[in-house]
Chain A
């Protein structure tokens, strides 16, 4: 049975690595959206990227103007942004260093390498070099995921994945919420070119362009994208999939420890509720309200997990 301290560090490694990956994808997709649209959507793309990363207010406080390179730097390398990829990797690495016995050698090396690749970078540079950096980071983080999946399928493995699944649920919810409320420039219609680009960007952020074509033979529409990202269990980053994964992982851990608790009950309840939900219900009740409630519930679940496994 693993140490409670080890469990806590692993959980947070899972969360930070997932956040780093999500942010890397977000930067990549935004560079793309910016390049696609020689229209005002370009600037809007970077502003909304900040909102997705819940960094808008902190960014405004720095007084910097919203330019592609400023925002890319802020999301990727900034030391003052506590959720920048640099800080996520730094935190993941500090946690990993303290519990490196709990990781495989490959797992530790991929975190360490990702950190070393970023440590001495001071600027992301232009679009192309931003893409190169982000590609490199994504490859390292994928290496970490690969290593994670080759770990012994024991409590340590589950704890890393639990952190990752909770974080992924949070990230996906934020992504949909922000994009859905993105205000289109005046004169643009819903379903117009800019709107389509933006929904395409969402799909790209969660690597779901192709998935969408497979799941929906019809064209891109906000309702279908929302349905896929919230309710379709086939998509690994959908809320439904994350919710199911959290429940299953907690089950696995419970079988090993012989205990279940508050976190298990909350996760099962949430799982059951989401399984019975239809996309129409969500839209009728207000997507934003639905997503905000989901994010809050996810945070409470994370707190229940810390209590149940005696993280402090």
Chain B
């Protein structure tokens, strides 16, 4: 009997026969003693703790620093799988950026009736403050994290777009460091695309989008809410790897629409800010007046064109799950092509027929708040109690505009080390797409999140999920090209004495 879920190594064979191209990794999983795997996994987690790669769970003691569990069995993408994925990702991110520029400026897509005006203009994610603003180089979502799921050999779906401040990239990089150290044999077995290109790509992108007035070597900084933030490790990790300052709001001052940072030698002008603070808290003069994390006057400097903010304020509209449901139309509208990456089928509860369907079938559906994230404010019908379903029905009826619903997906599994050996566990995937003045780039890798509990479909770290390294394999090379051509070894013709 075929397995119910697609496994990324074993296909539907229930562990009998690996998919073509995955024989070696399957052999590695089979032949590596579980005790050895456990030892390596413990060693990786001990290293993460020492490094302090921790996150704080909201609602717990501020000092409750936890590490996200790390799984030693990697996920593997074949080169052709990756090629299709990254084409689709780049197409989607290009469309997202075009959409954001359009809705804050000409609003052609609304005039043409492709997306309903009221859905955009009345959306809590729509930011009137940036109306008429075109960010430098027309990029809103400089760093996009596109959440993907897989249900079959060729079935990849986009689950969510994150155009605000997607996190998790430090895990992509640190997980790889751990794997290189602990499982070097895997990297002898395969040629794996490196992920450390990410920090260079990020630096190049940041410099490319600096305001025109900035010097050739613009001053870039990362703005963090501070070291009690759950993602602080990542903020400091990135600043360190980019070789730029990690600033808090108190380190910045705005004077005459120019942003400065306070240094021991006086103030220094700032050109590009990669902020890890939500729009709401960015500038108390424009957004929430009670924000202690923000920089008064920052938005004025932005409007004056004196500073670039990454990601640009206002991008949250693209994260909205109701807007998401229009992405296939949005992609087609701006790129003229069909979307290469499909959406998950989505019922918008704002539409009466859809609402009726959702209320009738809620126990089989996943229901989400349009502006929710992190696994909060969502109902997984099949695993919910009937009381929970009833409660959600009430909430949806009271505010249909606030919800969408999707079918429960048969998420793919990846072999994962558990208490009782290596078993398939459900995963999702977040690749990171960078957009700058020089185009769009997807670093070959990403964050694979895994639901460690058997049968669980919720992968969020706040709900007990873990992470895995995601290996993207290099395309197989043909024999001729694999000959050394760097002039450091004897060529064939010389060896034979020539003619």
- Residue ranges of A at the interface with B (Cβ–Cβ < 8 Å): 1-7, 94, 97-101, 105, 108-109, 112-113, 116, 155, 159, 253, 256-259, 309-310
Given the contacts A100-B236, A101-B246, A4 and B263 also touching, CB distance less than 8 Å = yes
Interface 1/0 per residue, B214-248 and A, CB below 8 Å: 00000000000011000010001001100001111
Could you tell me if A112 and B248 are in contact, using CB atoms closer than 8 angstroms?
Answer: no
Nearest 7 CB-CB pairings of A with B? A257-B265, A1-B263, A98-B227, A101-B240, A309-B264, A101-B239, A1-B265
Chain A neighbourhood of B248, CB < 8 A: 5
Could you tell me if B250 and A5 are in contact, using CB atoms closer than 8 angstroms?
Answer: yes
- Residue ranges of B at the interface with A (Cβ–Cβ < 8 Å): 49-52, 226-227, 232, 236, 239-240, 245-248, 250-251, 261-266, 268
Could you tell me if B264 and A2 are in contact, using CB atoms closer than 8 angstroms?
Answer: yes
Chain B neighbourhood of A7, CB < 8 A: 264
Chain A neighbourhood of B266, CB < 8 A: 1, 259
Could you tell me if B51 and A257 are in contact, using CB atoms closer than 8 angstroms?
Answer: no
Given the contacts A101-B236, A101-B240, A3 and B262 also touching, CB distance less than 8 Å = yes
Could you tell me if B265 and A259 are in contact, using CB atoms closer than 8 angstroms?
Answer: yes
Chain B neighbourhood of A256, CB < 8 A: 265
CB distance from B263 to the nearest CB of A (A): 4
Q: Which of the listed residues B250, B262, B264, B268 has the most CB atoms from chain A within 10 Å of its own CB?
A: B264
Q: How many angstroms between the C-alpha atoms of A112 and B46 in the bound complex?
A: 12
Chain B neighbourhood of A159, CB < 8 A: 264
Q: Of all chain B residues, which has the CB nearest A159? A: B264
Could you tell me if B50 and A310 are in contact, using CB atoms closer than 8 angstroms?
Answer: no
Chain A neighbourhood of B227, CB < 8 A: 94, 97-98
Could you tell me if B226 and A3 are in contact, using CB atoms closer than 8 angstroms?
Answer: no
Specify the main secondary structure of chain A where it touches its partner: helix
Q: How many angstroms between the C-alpha atoms of A94 and B227 in the bound complex?
A: 9
Q: Of all chain A residues, which has the CB nearest B47? A: A109
> What are 27 sample pairs from A and B whose C-beta atoms fall under 8 A apart?
A1-B264, A3-B247, A3-B262, A3-B263, A3-B264, A4-B251, A4-B262, A5-B250, A5-B251, A5-B262, A97-B227, A97-B232, A98-B227, A99-B246, A100-B52, A100-B240, A101-B236, A101-B239, A105-B51, A108-B52, A112-B51, A112-B52, A155-B264, A159-B264, A257-B265, A259-B265, A259-B266
Chain B neighbourhood of A113, CB < 8 A: 50
Q: How many angstroms between the C-alpha atoms of A165 and B51 in the bound complex?
A: 27
Q: How many angstroms between the C-alpha atoms of A155 and B52 in the bound complex?
A: 25
Chain A neighbourhood of B240, CB < 8 A: 100-101
Chain A neighbourhood of B246, CB < 8 A: 99, 101
Q: How many angstroms between the C-alpha atoms of A259 and B239 in the bound complex?
A: 27
Q: Which of the listed residues B236, B239, B261 has the most CB atoms from chain A within 10 Å of its own CB?
A: B236
Chain B neighbourhood of A2, CB < 8 A: 245, 263-264
Chain A neighbourhood of B245, CB < 8 A: 2-3, 6, 101
Q: How many angstroms between the C-alpha atoms of A130 and B247 in the bound complex?
A: 41
Q: How many angstroms between the C-alpha atoms of A98 and B248 in the bound complex?
A: 10
Q: How many angstroms between the C-alpha atoms of A253 and B264 in the bound complex?
A: 9
Q: How many angstroms between the C-alpha atoms of A256 and B264 in the bound complex?
A: 10
Could you tell me if B264 and A97 are in contact, using CB atoms closer than 8 angstroms?
Answer: no
Q: How many angstroms between the C-alpha atoms of A5 and B268 in the bound complex?
A: 14
CB distance from B255 to the nearest CB of A (A): 16
CB distance from A271 to the nearest CB of B (A): 22
Q: Of all chain A residues, which has the CB nearest B65? A: A97
Chain A neighbourhood of B52, CB < 8 A: 97, 100, 108, 112
Q: How many angstroms between the C-alpha atoms of A108 and B54 in the bound complex?
A: 14
CB distance from A98 to the nearest CB of B (A): 4
Could you tell me if A3 and B51 are in contact, using CB atoms closer than 8 angstroms?
Answer: no
CB distance from A165 to the nearest CB of B (A): 17
Q: How many angstroms between the C-alpha atoms of A90 and B263 in the bound complex?
A: 26
Q: How many angstroms between the C-alpha atoms of A94 and B65 in the bound complex?
A: 12
Could you tell me if B264 and A310 are in contact, using CB atoms closer than 8 angstroms?
Answer: yes
CB distance from B98 to the nearest CB of A (A): 35
CB distance from A117 to the nearest CB of B (A): 11
Q: How many angstroms between the C-alpha atoms of A43 and B463 in the bound complex?
A: 54
Q: Of all chain B residues, which has the CB nearest A100? A: B236
Chain A neighbourhood of B251, CB < 8 A: 3-5
Q: Of all chain B residues, which has the CB nearest A1? A: B263
Chain A neighbourhood of B264, CB < 8 A: 1-4, 7, 155, 159, 253, 257, 309-310
